[in-house]
Amino acid sequence: MRKEKRGFARFGRCLGTVVGLALCSQWLPAGVARAEEVGDFYHGRTIELVVSSGAGGGYDLNARLLARHMGRFVPGDPTIVVNNMPGAGGIRASNYLYNVAPRDGSVIATFSNAMITEPLLGTEAVKFDPAKLSWIGSITSEDATCVAWKTAAVKSWDDLLKHKLIVGTMAPGTTTYVFPMLLKNLFGAQFELVSGYPDSSAAILALEHGEVQSICQTYSSLRSLHAQWFKDGQIVPLVLLGLKRNPDLPDVPAVTELATSDEQKRVLTVILAPTLAGRPFFAPPGVPQDRLEALRAAFDSTMKDAAFLEEAAHLKLEVKPASGQEIETLIGQIYATPPALIAKARAIVAKK
């Protein structure tokens, strides 16, 4: 502390001369100098927040909530503007952030957490490496649930093992697609997939109109956007895609309870890993370290902010944040998985 005060004193004295202005920075405490440089970059600037899905879904809702609050905590007080970039289940936006977007901290993004393992389990359309992205943080961890519409014959997990259920999904690689494929190929669930819906809102509309009988989606999104469905019995939760049961759905089995062998449990660990990252936010690779640290600190501060938490509660959005460093560590662990186990997990979620 004494050293920092001396730095400020020297900085103040040197301002009186032209030569001093050129020499001031050597006495300004390093942390303060970096913060001022970051503030200079962001002052009067707009940060673009790219959302890899269409407007109205859970990821979009979380992104817009963050955009309304996080700018106050970034040095320079920038404005954050949301830009929806749907396509290929999130691959389009992910490829853009990795290969095209400026790497200066002026563009950040959020995508389906399934994109974290897409390079391991997905298709050749993937042109990004999650291990090299600049991770900022996640608003919450995210369990998903597969539900049936009330008119379907399937009313439980046991029913799903015996009767066909038409499920609406987005593109391969999204959790809406990966989860029913996982349940179908690993446990024999009688899902019939209708894929290609552009976003979760379109799949939900198809469910309401009777085009499909089921969807698999994050529980928090369903609870936030369609709470009345649960109250009125419009939908029947069949299984939870998470590591344990949800207290809100005590009678719904977690998928981990269904595993009967060590291999099934290990495959589930890989496929369910993205749920721990929840609603992840990131920037392209190569963002200057001081700006990444500022974005991470702003995100962490936002997660504790009273106004942010009040609005999240009003929107019925759960806040169980993870830091950028925690997500970075998680991804490092996933990508250290033995290739043989990755191959088995890939076979499980592949289209058959």
Q: Concatenated DSSP letters for 155-205?
A: -SHHHHTTS-EEEE--STTSHHHHHHHHHHHHH---EEEE---SSHHHHHH
The model's pLDDT over 5-18, given as tens digits with 9 standing for 90+, comes to: 444 444 444 444 44
How far is C-alpha 342 from the geometric centre of its chain's CA atoms? 21
Angle at 292 between CA 72 and CA 79, to 5 degrees: 30
- Over range 164-192, report the average pLDDT: 93
Q: Which residues of 278-309 are buried (b: 16+ CB within 10 A; e: fewer)?
A: bbbbbbbeebbebbbbbbbbbbeebbeeeebe
| Residue bearing the bigger pLDDT, 54 or 134 | 134
Task: Show me where the domains of the chain are located.
Answer: 2-30, 43-352
**Nearest one of 304, 306, 344, 351 to 323, comparing CA atoms:** 304
Determine the pLDDT at residue 5. 43
User: Which DSSP letter does residue 140 get?
Assistant: -
Decide if pLDDT at 216 tops 80.
Answer: yes
Determine the pLDDT at residue 123. 67
**Nearest one of 219, 215, 273 to 248, comparing CA atoms:** 219
Determine the pLDDT at residue 351. 62
Determine the pLDDT at residue 349. 86
Least confident range from 47-51, 57-61, 78-82, 105-109: namely 57-61
Decide if pLDDT at 197 tops 60.
Answer: yes
**Nearest one of 110, 153, 75, 128 to 278, comparing CA atoms:** 110
| Residues 137/281, Cβ–Cβ less than 8 Å | yes
- Over range 237-244, report the average pLDDT: 92
Give the phi and the psi of residue 111 in degrees, each rounded to 5.
-145, 170
Give the phi and the psi of residue 115 in degrees, each rounded to 5.
-65, -20
* Residue whose tokens read 């979620």: 349
The model's pLDDT over 292-343, given as tens digits with 9 standing for 90+, comes to: 999 999 999 999 999 999 999 999 888 999 999 999 998 998 898 899 999 9
Q: Give the model's confidence band at 174: pLDDT under 50 very low, under 70 low, under 90 confident, else very high.
A: confident
**Separation between Cα atoms, residue 89 and residue 294, nearest integer Å:** 30
**Separation between Cα atoms, residue 273 and residue 119, nearest integer Å:** 14
Q: Give the model's confidence band at 84: pLDDT under 50 very low, under 70 low, under 90 confident, else very high.
A: very high
Overall pTM > 0.85: no
Decide if pLDDT at 76 tops 80.
Answer: yes
Q: Give the model's confidence band at 36: pLDDT under 50 very low, under 70 low, under 90 confident, else very high.
A: confident
**Nearest one of 160, 173, 70 to 113, comparing CA atoms:** 173
**Separation between Cα atoms, residue 69 and residue 77, nearest integer Å:** 10
CATH number for domain 43-352, candidates 3.40.50.2300, 3.30.365.10, 1.10.3720.10, 3.40.190.150: 3.40.190.150
Determine the pLDDT at residue 112. 85
Mean predicted lDDT score pLDDT of the chain? 88
Of the chain, the percentage scoring pLDDT greater than 70 comes to 89
DSSP SS3 for 76: coil
- Over range 254-258, report the average pLDDT: 94
The model's pLDDT over 243-253, given as tens digits with 9 standing for 90+, comes to: 889 899 999 99
The model's pLDDT over 265-292, given as tens digits with 9 standing for 90+, comes to: 888 888 888 888 889 999 999 999 999 9
- Over range 13-31, report the average pLDDT: 46
Tokens of 309: 């938490």
Tokens of 103: 């790497």
Q: Give the model's confidence band at 263: pLDDT under 50 very low, under 70 low, under 90 confident, else very high.
A: confident
Give the distance between the most distant pair of CA atoms in the chain.
Answer: 84
